[in-house]
Structure 1
Amino acid sequence: MIRGIRGATTVLQNEADQIIEHTRALVEEMAMKNQINPDDIASVLISVTSDITASFPAKALRLLDGWTYVPVMCMQEIDVPGSLEKCIRVMITVNTTIEQKEIQHIYHHGAKVLRPDLLR
């Protein structure tokens, strides 16, 4: 079965090191909690708010063992007035046997406000 696994994080500063580190930590936890094998990933979509421009967050995935060939794409999030600032959102599409209700969506830092109903 193909499932989508959501995650999001925020950064305090528009700095490349922080963007990469927060994205790496988020994706590592998403993979661990959902038992993701990189070979089972169809693709990863990463969106950022318009105030994140210092680096492509996708670079973080290239630091992870086994993720070299995982297709990744970055894009800009819709700029909705009043929305969460400095936010990085990740959607991993993966082949898994985990049931939809058992998927663990991961939210770090300020992004925890986006889906408090999904936090465990």
Structure 2
Amino acid sequence: MGVRAVRGATTVDTDTAEAIDKNVRELVSVMLERNQLDKDQLISIFFTATSDLHSMFPAAAARALGFGDVPLMCAQELTIEGAVTHCVRVMMHVEDDRDRRLFHHVYLHGAIGLRDDLPD
């Protein structure tokens, strides 16, 4: 099996645990669905959050989806002037032999358009 990475991002309207939980669960679920992946293919998931998000670790939302046995890591995103705010980014590492160009990277809510150069 090869190792592939799938990217994604979402935003939240407010810095609350409920908003982060809801949107991160949505993002991770859509990433798996659009790429026809199941939990057994997950190697690890790396999350970053912008410095204006303090209410919850994005990885906690993934654990609540049943990914407690998948290595999860959170970090703070770089603070860049003019960057999207209230944003959680994800890099999901998976075991899969498909050509990397066949994967669908997922950008939701205010993160739509962050990476227009990638296939949908």
TM-score, scaled relative to structure 2: 0.93
Contact 1:46 1:90 in 2 (8 A): yes
Q: Percent identity?
A: 39
Q: Distance in 1 between matches of 2:28 and 2:53?
A: 18
Unaligned runs of 5+ in 2: none
* Segments ≥4 residues shifted beyond 4 Å: none
Higher-helix-fraction structure = 1
Unaligned runs of 5+ in 1: none
1:7 aligns with 2:12: no
Q: Deviations over 1:15-65 (max 9, x none)?
A: 110001000000000011112222221110000000000111111112224
Q: Distance in 2 between matches of 1:68 and 1:49?
A: 23
TM-score, scaled relative to structure 1: 0.93
Q: Distance in 1 between matches of 2:98 and 2:104?
A: 10
User: Given residue 111 of structure 2, which amino acid in structure 1 is its aligned partner?
Assistant: A
Alpha carbon RMSD of aligned pairs, Å? Answer: 1.2
Deviation at 1:119, TM superposition (A): 5.4
User: Given residue 102 of structure 1, which amino acid in structure 2 is its aligned partner?
Assistant: L
Residues matched between the structures, number:
119
Q: Distance in 2 between matches of 1:28 and 1:119?
A: 18
Q: Distance in 2 between matches of 1:80 and 1:69?
A: 33
Partner of 2:99: 99
Give the 3-state SS of the residue equivalent to 1:36 in structure 2: coil
Partner of 2:17: 16
User: Given residue 68 of structure 1, which amino acid in structure 2 is its aligned partner?
Assistant: G
